[in-house]
Amino acid sequence: MIARFTITQEMVDAFVRFTSDRNAQHTDEQVARRMRFRRRVVHGMLPFSHLLLIGREFPGKQIDLKETETRFLKPAFTGDEIELSVSMNGDAFEATWTNAVNGDVLTKSKGTLGITSAKAHAADDGDSMVSVVLEENVLGVGELEGKRESIPFQVSAALARRYEQMIGAPEGSAGPSMMATLLLSTMIGMRIPGRYATFMSFAVTFEQPVEFGQVHQLIAVVEKVMAATESLNLSLSFERDGATIGGGKMGALVSPPPRPMITCQEIRERHLDLGLRNKVALVTGSSRGIGATTAKLLAMHGCKVIVNYFHGKADAEEIAGDIRAAGGIAMAIGCDVADEQQVQQMFAQIEAQLGGLDLLVNNAVRDAQPKELERLDWEDYLGELNVTLKGMVLCCRETLPIFRRRGRGKIVNLSTIYVDNPVKGQSKYITAKSAVVGYSRALAREVAGENIQVNVLSPNMTQTDLLA
């Protein structure tokens, strides 16, 4: 069987209601921007649950889970179109979830299904399988040794029916053990370890099925913590009336908490005057990471700073607010630096409100997420070049007339140490940053006689809130 489906925000919201997994990486954009994937990710168990679509091959049957081994290989995001391929041999299955656009394999699973006659559904009796209020734990690697958690739950037939409707599965196809397995996401995302978790794998075997309408317990115990790899192994069990009906294991990564960015006050206390008072500086892509710290540093040395952002409006306004609270001058301006008209509008606003520009720092990039070379196509390279190179060129083009009128100016373009010391998985990023170096050298030669300096900075891997 091959099926395609698109992950919608409505699906994600419904999954949260059904499972009570409100982990911030899935639900809070501001938290997710500072985590491993830089944006909200979809619960891995949500695409997994579309295994119920196999019910289309078995009309009038209930699809339940007897045992499975599952690995989450790459994340899915809202809006992704996913292709599910399932092969059956008797009641044994092998399934693969693939991003239908770029071909990335997201999840692999194999196991055994229970295929029985569909049950009639009872009246509506609640939105969630979890009847208690769960608080999201925020646990680091050092706090997990021997940790044990229990989640009480009850799978109602009516809730299973609503879940079928949500994912487009046949009526009566959602078995209670399959539904209960979705709560592994809740255990990892809300309890052990909680906010900083990335669910990697699980294996479960049901000796007896979960039963509709009965109270059960999902229990997880941390068996091993690997601090060097920031990962942990857990054992799990499903219990009913004190008796174990199923068990298995789970694996998860534990990201370190986002590194707190240096405050403006700390910069003022630690650093000497660089002679930048009352200079006007634009830092592109400065709503987070190196750009955010650069904006704060320049502001605390007396610059009037423009904090440029594309998507991170709240982050940029927070940074500008921090600068102003510390006695500096800053304004946040939203602009896609790859859009020529938006760049022109941004520079017009800077001249109108701040009177010109003395320093341009080109820091904006599309992303630095690794991707295997064989998975890259030309559009991937163009996407990176469009921001990193085109954005820099457009900003420099608008800057040079201002500098020439003033008779001076400074441009700093950020590259990366990876240009000279490449690493696997970063081909498109390194290619774009190599172009930064070439353009900067050419530009420096062109404008040196006009008292305009152009420099390239090539940072190593730098600990910022972007590293998770």
Catalytic residue annotation: 429
Q: What is the H or E stretch that residue 76 is in?
A: none
| Residue in the structure block whose two tokens are 């820091």 | 363
Which uninterrupted H or E stretch holds 446?
helix 427-447
Per DSSP (E only), the strands in 196-270 are 197-206, 215-226, 231-240, 243-254
Distance separating alpha carbons of residues 128 and 439, to the nearest angstrom: 56
Count of C-beta atoms within a 10 Å radius of residue 127: 14
Tokens of 99: 């991003």
The CA distance from 309 to 177, in Å, is 46
Element of type H or E holding 234: strand 231-240
Report the alpha-carbon distance of residue 250 to residue 233 in Å, rounded. Answer: 6
Report the SS3 class of residue 296: helix
The maximal CA–CA distance of the chain, rounded, in angstroms, is 84
